[in-house]
Amino acid sequence: MNKKTVASCAYFVSKNSQKHLKNQTGLTLIELMIALALGLLIVGVATVAMLGTRNVTSSVGDLSGIQQQAAYVMRLFGNQLRQAGSLYLDLGLNDDGEGDIEANTAFQLRGNTDTAITENSTAGTITIRFTGYQEPTFANAGPLSRNCLAAPASITAGTTATIESIFSLSGTDLRCQGNGANAQPIAQNVASFQVRYLLQSNDAANPTMLYTNAAGVGTNWNRVQGVEVCLVLFGTDPIDLPAGTSYTNCDGTAVNMTTLTGVRRNRMHYVFRNVFQLRSQGLI
C-alpha cells in the first residue's frame, strides 16, 4: 500500500498569531484625514503666532527708530537755541590762556549784530544765530560752539563770526545748513515741522508771554524769548489702522491717517514737542 508524504512547514503558526496578523490593517482613511487636519491646525496656529510676533517686533523697531530720530533732532535744536543770542565773553586772555579778566569788557556784543532767530516764510527756513569766537584751549581746534553741521572749523583769533544754523523741510527730509556748509538731511520721514515763538510784551511793569507765529512776531524778533519746536515723524512699516484713526497735528488739527496716501499710507505717526529758551535774548 502506497503512503503519501505530506510536507510540513518549518515554522509552526498558531491560531492566535494568524488572528493578530489579520488585525494589523493600519490607519483608515478617516483617521488619516483627522491626523492631517490636526497637523495643519497646529502649523496654522504656529504660523499665526510667528507672524504676530514678527509684526510686533517690526512695530517696536519702527517706533524705536522714530523716537531716536526725534531725540536727536530735539537735542540738536536745543543745543543751537540755547546759544541763540549769546554774547561775546572777553576774559582778557591771550592766545595761551593767560592774563587777567577785564571786568569792564567781560560781556559784550562784538562783531555780531544779527537777530538771534528769524523765520523766512517764503523760503520755508528758520535761522538760528549766535556769536562765535576762537577760544583758547589746549587743543587749539577752533571754536567750541558750532552750528548744526559742526561748522565753521576755525575763526581767526581775536575776531568774532556769526554762527548760524538754517533749518528747512524738503519733502519728508528735515535739512540743515549754514556757514558755507551745504544742506544735509538730519531727519527723514518728517510729515510736519512747525515752530511757534514765545513773544514777550514790551510792558515793563507787567510783561507777558504770547505764543505766536512768524507773522505775529513781525519785526520784533529781539522780543522772542523762547521757541516751541514741533515735529511729526512717521514710520516705514505698514500697519493695520481702524477706520477713522487720527492724530493731532502741530497746528492743532486732526489728521485722519487712514486717508493718507503715498509713503505715509497706513504708517504710524508720532508728534513731538519741546520748548527751548533763548540764551541772553533781549540784550541784543
With respect to residue 267, please indicate whether it lies within any of the assigned structural domains: yes
Q: Report if residue 18 sits inside a domain.
A: no
Residue 33 covered by a domain: no
Q: Is 136 helix (H, G, I), strand (E, B) or coil?
A: coil
- By the 8 A CB rule, do 196 and 186 touch? no
Reduced to 3 states (helix: H, G, I; strand: E, B; else coil), residue 91 is coil
| Domain span at 223 | 49-277
pLDDT in tens, 36-67: 888 888 877 777 766 666 665 667 788 889 99
Q: Is residue 42 in some structural domain?
A: no
Task: Supply the pTM of this predicted model.
Answer: 0.71
In a domain, 272, yes or no: yes
Measured in residues, the chain has a length of 284
Would residue 16 count as lying in a domain? no
Decide if 207 is inside a domain.
yes
Domain assignment present for 250:
yes
pLDDT at 4: 53
Total domain count for the chain?
1
- Cell numbers standing for residue 259: 486717508
Band of pLDDT at residue 103, cut at 50, 70 and 90: very low
Paired strand residues for 164: 129
